[in-house]
Structure 1
């Protein structure tokens, strides 16, 4: 870090600051209130907001017949967005906008649920026949008989008589599969078929019907659009051109704001029979009218005869995810079935990428906006869809706060050279008004630290509701103190001004911004590229426990065939060693690893295109270390339209992998546990590591000779105190993200020239370490973090507590302050153990005094050790506020503000609103509040 970057680190620009997801009640807003809330967000340290038209909540002065005037894209909505943009732009506060109202994506341009541009499901009916059949096509039990449908295909296949049952309902002979419509045996007008099987065996007759699924976007009562066709994507962008950007002045504001269009996770259902969430799993496939033609063009063969094999019960609904399962009607060769489905899923992926994401991104870019997209939720190959996304986004909810899960997209971020990897963070069921900044139970910083350690560098908080002040009709039920919560009072969180912890938000947002500033420096340099080819919406078998690689100190990304086919995916050199993508992540080795089957425990090898094996051979010839685990590959990815062609390609793949195994830079091991030893044999070591196993997770970024390390203690129980060995030459510094200061470290060096850095991290604490050839002495503040030998410990027990309790006012949006003053003669206690504070939330100010004599010669080294508290705190020593204290470690050096004689300390603690809501919500459980301690002065 050059010295000119120190000040931007201390006071980051808005683009480095976290953003807020902002839930808005349609256009039922007031421009002055929009202005006030944006200014509050900016003052609280947020750099932008993501605007979501949630749904319209009418105000008392609007008649029902006029509600349509306040919808997405209406004149009223445009007027509110004009006010928002005119407020935000001068503040440098960037606004992002969802591509349509709420989610899944819909547009007022498509309001008829029978429109072909709506999302489709493919249904099937089946009938067992022996001998000639002339009759009506079999009906589907999942289709809506009252609505239009379209006959897509009619096929047949012989029932398999083998001992093994593959299909859940029936097993079919692969070679017998036939397209009866192609043979001219189906009368589409009368929906009848006349066909005689070629033998006297039992056959299964299938009819496949396409129907729009009826899934609605509740925000505007519009059907969800098809995510696989250009016509649907162009309906969205066309509406923006006509309605949202139709006014030249408003268009200028959008383009000057230069925000993002945002799309949430792809929450599509192939069928709405039974509901949106948790419905009974059904055998209905996601579909689009152009799929068979696109499949034939992209995969080189006709999917029609093999359609029975794509129907995995529940896979295309939000309730179930298991792409590894067998279909209801499957062919006798499981290997072929899975490759046929691979081809189907890959076609969906490419159509989503080319016909949907690319169209929206190119439109956004033409208007000086970028596309931020959560491209998961469908059975697709995740990284392939990211090729057309400006800013990939993950989420703490869907990926279960898993560092391993976040790496499913980090490979695409790094290999595609994307500046930002965003995270929707903070959505936790059951923690509405209860989620804390610093706690161990889904504390927001715990969630963010795990994301940062995995490559994330932009936080979007979930979220904040608009402060509506009036309502009419049945919406009144939403209006309870402390205000309307559009995501529901049990789903976290409301991070706006309605909670006491909001008063301390600036210190937290500054901390996040400084971390994000450093995590965008230069480029990520990652130890390992782990090959992964898998189809999943969100892989629900993700674990939060440290992986084998993390336990050994390695950083890693998952990489896929689509990423390894990039022009930049070639062998090069970095740090004097062979690497993959030297100008990007500079992976030191590739691991072809096994993976856990979805919803299972068995590990198996991934599928691999034949071209991938050819590329691996070239990497090995260039000296790039490669570790093969188990078989290395289950086979090629594609069915190739014919089982014999598939098996021939499988043989060729095995031969190439056999050649690979004996090459000098390659190691072959039987299981994942042996990979670490193989990497050591290949002299592939982590860029940041400890001598013994530790809970540390390390991320490295490199910028023109400067090495930045994000080091995270992932343990929630134990402190780390020891040494970490990192790559880089020069001097070592810690960049304090809490207050923006820089201080030097007394580092040693190894025989190989690596740096040995002493580090102490509390549980869930992180540090930013810089190794640089530059002399930063002009920027360094004096800092001493060594333990005090033979310390004198003064226990601070006598406290006065003054609590500003937040209580309901006369209307749902009014909060009143009730002040309670207590003498804590029995010591510090949780508020739930103090009768006067059992159901209270707010700001607690704890005051105590103590005397230091002139004989206390180590006053200048004094440390205040603050024990347990919830949630955030501030300190004053003798009337002087101490700025930006570490909210995780809670050990504060206060010696410079102490004096001989009487000293006064005040600790201000902010709580959530949870306990104050308990009287009106008996289902709420009490939450620890206040300062519990112990509080000690260490001299």
Structure 2
């Protein structure tokens, strides 16, 4: 047991089965933690398991296949599915079911009842495809855009044509919403009252030359993308609460007040293009911003980058942000609560403040799109087509969703995960692990796979598939090995859903800088993951966030509105009673800040909070009463008397507190003795959760080097428990107290993760074994018997291998084009067994494996490093080794395309590659497959600490 006096807990003993990458398979229906009362792990629930987006193609579902696929989900360890109906497969049109029809609702009921009987959950997209829209949306309630036409008149001239939107594709006569005349001498006239009902302008200038700007409320004409039968139609106006009511009324009528069986209702990322208007927007603008923008119509729609034009656009964008918040996200969430459900929303892309939008819903959801290239040795990425690859997921972008969850104490933060992780059929499970770890490190604790497609059993291989990868389908070669990834995620999420987030720094997001400097080409500002190189990455906020995280501070972001809700208690900031508690508020360089926000920041400092400002704001945003607000800003800044207190840090006393001014934020944090987690100096990444008796640290090694050292933790602890999320094993760590912290001995290979549980009290259990190589490496060279067990298009004949080679190099004609699973068997002799343990290293595995030794299930090996501890199962003398290997789907797809077999038969977009071009794998090279080795056995002994 660990005392508080540098007393070491020296670990010894045997491993409890399996290295961190060797997953012990549970029985299909067993919980990962079979006996929660006796387990050091938090209990497993439906929500701790990963879920999956479930595309219903044409909603052509039936009860038999629904149960079959839900059972398949259950058997591999999924926790639930989100139903999103889309376009259908060609040839199955007679089986299509119209969205929200009585038959469709019956299938939804069948799904929820079947899922419930299997212990699974069901979520539902409130629509088909995306974005929201459908047959109930009329042109008057559809997504709108501001269209401006320009006319010129000289003195004495009349406008000959009638004022009407010159767009024959418009779905309705577009109402005139503004008409402003600009004279050559600076005159501005509102001419709306001079326009007759038929569009005739009853006005002519008497002197000078004039420009007329006529603004119309036009339609974007955008239709629902990837709509399912019964769901096609216009995209709704997200700025109009009346349009939302019309949209949701269809669901009210369909559900008829009956329970839905749905846990949460979902809204996908906002992809409403050119929708920068709603019929009431100009009136709302005047009410909210305090002035009428119509006289400034010319400047508003210009491409000018003048300060005036930028301020007008900023005010316009803020009005849109408020409308989408108040007229869509807030009433949408209230409607869901009326259905006894939870709201789950992807706020990115919305023309609003991401943090406020995420804060409004029950489950904020971010999204990964593309793949990150981690420096883990030997990790392979098969989608090498540089022109096709998407920008990698960005940790700072992901944290907008989790920040809203953390500051308000929301139990769940979700992620649409693995979207276009790679090209179709080229994504191994080993690519998924570091990517999902990055999601966890960003604060996500409820993963949704993107995705799987409902496919009837009678559909030929590869079954029905969605046009975008990743394909988490039962037809995938590695599907039986998916249990490894699923159980890893389940263990991680059981910890990451425990307690509450624990962070150090609250970082203010200067959204007004983003709006002010947004490109003038568009009035709407879609805060999208695809444009982070424009609105996020160039900013001081982004640089501060990255630097603080890299330095070892746990950081969450805060908006103006959320900051307004914050309280100070004992010098700590907290936005909500159940939310995270912060040691400091950091304000990055911001050129524009509302006077109310600056006043709020000073007030928090007066109340005792630590406030660090990188640079005082230079100006206020917006156009109305500009000089008055500027004077208030200058007065506040002038009232702060800063004096140098250390190198690079100035301090101003305010009330009962102080404000620090430092261009290098970390210097100010050091001055305040707000300590960081120095474990990041070793390259480890972390996120923390606070629980009543201590902390959970989730640690990941994404570097190219192993970590085998004493690692400092910024907390005091009486005992430390290590929990391996890859295998479920646990043990008491070697730890010691040092000052106000604790150091713990860790051994982590590149690509491995570890959960560290610190406790204020004593913990019981076996000691964690620390091992080091203890002898020469033994080669397991074969010969090998190779037997193909499952897959196609045909099972190759069994082989005897003198050495390990790829299936694509075998003389057997069916081997190159085969995708599926095969078993390798061999024997080897262990002359003696003096070592504490033995590590089986599989070398090059294409792509995942399942290991048995002497008839014992030693687990799954599905990610880097491809290793497995076998000490428990080995015996002196002759040992039998069996390794099942699954390859990628790619080779079988190559064969189909080379033989010109038509398997891509879908309506709408059909099936595309990473570049969104028609998919064709005929020219792909065969993908190496199978166990390539070398396979070795290394003895290990307990180390002396």
TM-score (norm 2): 0.81
Match of 1:237 in 2: 248
Matched, 1:644 2:621: no
CA contact (8 A) 2:717 2:761 kept: no
1:204-223 → structure 2 map (5 Å cutoff): 204-217=211-224, 218-219=227-228, 220-223=231-234
Paired residue secondary structure (1:72): coil
CA distance in 2, matches of 1:807, 1:347: 57
Match of 1:180 in 2: 190
CA distance in 2, matches of 1:130, 1:706: 78
Shift of 1:744: 1.2
CA distance in 1, matches of 2:633, 2:926: 59
Give the direction of change, closer, same or farther, for the CA distance of 1:351–1:857 in structure 2 (3 Å limit). Answer: same
Match of 2:498 in 1: 521
Give the direction of change, closer, same or farther, for the CA distance of 1:186–1:413 in structure 2 (3 Å limit). Answer: same
1:292-307 → structure 2 map (5 Å cutoff): 292-307=282-297
CA contact (8 A) 1:739 1:884 kept: no
Correspondence for 1:509 among 486, 491, 499? 486
Match of 1:322 in 2: none
CA distance in 2, matches of 1:408, 1:89: 32
Match of 1:89 in 2: 116
Correspondence for 2:317 among 345, 356, 361? 345
CA distance in 2, matches of 1:351, 1:393: 21
Correspondence for 1:732 among 720, 724, 736? 720
CA contact (8 A) 1:738 1:886 kept: no
CA contact (8 A) 2:142 2:236 kept: yes
CA distance in 2, matches of 1:775, 1:871: 42
Matched, 1:590 2:614: no
Correspondence for 2:446 among 458, 469, 481? 458
Match of 1:34 in 2: 66
Correspondence for 1:77 among 77, 98, 104? 104
Shift of 1:435: 1.5
Match of 1:277 in 2: none
Matched, 1:611 2:611: no
CA distance in 2, matches of 1:482, 1:928: 20
Shift of 1:14: 1.4
CA contact (8 A) 1:613 1:657 kept: no
CA contact (8 A) 1:847 1:906 kept: yes
Correspondence for 1:667 among 645, 660, 663? 660
CA distance in 2, matches of 1:623, 1:453: 30
Paired residue secondary structure (1:615): helix
Give the direction of change, closer, same or farther, for the CA distance of 1:928–1:649 in structure 2 (3 Å limit). Answer: farther
CA contact (8 A) 1:99 1:236 kept: no
Shift of 1:867: 2.6
CA distance in 1, matches of 2:320, 2:421: 31
CA distance in 2, matches of 1:619, 1:61: 62
Matched, 1:419 2:411: yes
Matched, 1:493 2:470: yes
Shift of 1:106: 1.5
Shift of 1:767: 1.5
Shift of 1:50: 0.4
1:690-839 → structure 2 map (5 Å cutoff): 690=679, 693-715=681-703, 717-726=704-713, 727-752=715-740, 754-777=741-764, 780-788=765-773, 790-804=774-788, 818-826=795-803, 828-834=804-810, 836=812, 837-839=815-817
Match of 1:14 in 2: 46
Give the direction of change, closer, same or farther, for the CA distance of 1:190–1:139 in structure 2 (3 Å limit). Answer: closer
Match of 2:934 in 1: 934
CA contact (8 A) 2:181 2:211 kept: yes
Match of 1:405 in 2: 397
1:116-155 → structure 2 map (5 Å cutoff): 116-128=140-152, 134-135=158-159, 136=161, 144=169, 147-155=172-180
Match of 1:189 in 2: 198
Match of 1:319 in 2: none
What CA deviation, in whole Å up to 9, does each residue of 1:160-186 have, x standing for no partner? Answer: xxxxxxxxxxxxx9xx5845136x344
Give the direction of change, closer, same or farther, for the CA distance of 1:189–1:867 in structure 2 (3 Å limit). Answer: same
Match of 1:865 in 2: 841
Shift of 1:679: 1.9
CA contact (8 A) 1:555 1:697 kept: no
Shift of 1:693: 2.9
Give the direction of change, closer, same or farther, for the CA distance of 1:713–1:139 in structure 2 (3 Å limit). Answer: farther
Match of 1:555 in 2: 554
CA distance in 1, matches of 2:667, 2:636: 26
What CA deviation, in whole Å up to 9, does each residue of 1:238-288 have, x standing for no partner? Answer: 111211x13x6xx23x2xx35111000111022xxxxxxxxxxxxxx6111
Correspondence for 1:841 among 819, 822, 841? 819
Paired residue secondary structure (1:938): strand
Correspondence for 2:667 among 650, 674, 677? 677
Give the direction of change, closer, same or farther, for the CA distance of 1:138–1:683 in structure 2 (3 Å limit). Answer: farther
1:472-491 → structure 2 map (5 Å cutoff): 481-485=461-465, 487-488=466-467, 491=468
CA distance in 1, matches of 2:204, 2:743: 78
What CA deviation, in whole Å up to 9, does each residue of 1:759-812 have, x standing for no partner? Answer: 2323232211100123331xx345413323x4221122225252537655xxxx
Shift of 1:884: 5.6
TM-score (norm 1): 0.82
What CA deviation, in whole Å up to 9, does each residue of 1:114-147 have, x standing for no partner? Answer: 2x11111111112355656531477767773674
Give the direction of change, closer, same or farther, for the CA distance of 1:263–1:191 in structure 2 (3 Å limit). Answer: farther
CA contact (8 A) 1:11 1:740 kept: no
Give the direction of change, closer, same or farther, for the CA distance of 1:606–1:37 in structure 2 (3 Å limit). Answer: farther
Shift of 1:588: 1.9
CA contact (8 A) 1:10 1:741 kept: no
Q: CA RMSD in A?
A: 3.1
Match of 2:26 in 1: none
Give the direction of change, closer, same or farther, for the CA distance of 1:349–1:803 in structure 2 (3 Å limit). Answer: farther
1:274-293 → structure 2 map (5 Å cutoff): 286-293=276-283
Paired residue secondary structure (2:882): strand
Residue-pair matches, total? 822
Shift of 1:56: 4.3
What CA deviation, in whole Å up to 9, does each residue of 1:442-489 have, x standing for no partner? Answer: x2222210010010001110111111467xxxxxxxx8741221x22x
CA distance in 2, matches of 1:561, 1:748: 42
Match of 1:168 in 2: none
Gap regions ≥5 residues in structure 2: 1-32, 371-390, 516-525, 644-649, 898-920, 940-945
Give the direction of change, closer, same or farther, for the CA distance of 1:583–1:499 in structure 2 (3 Å limit). Answer: closer
Paired residue secondary structure (1:123): strand
Give the direction of change, closer, same or farther, for the CA distance of 1:141–1:148 in structure 2 (3 Å limit). Answer: closer
Give the direction of change, closer, same or farther, for the CA distance of 1:700–1:142 in structure 2 (3 Å limit). Answer: farther
Q: For CA contacts below 8 A with separation 6 or more, give which structure has more relative contact order.
A: 2
CA distance in 1, matches of 2:271, 2:585: 33
CA contact (8 A) 1:802 1:819 kept: no
Shift of 1:914: 1.3
CA contact (8 A) 1:12 1:513 kept: yes
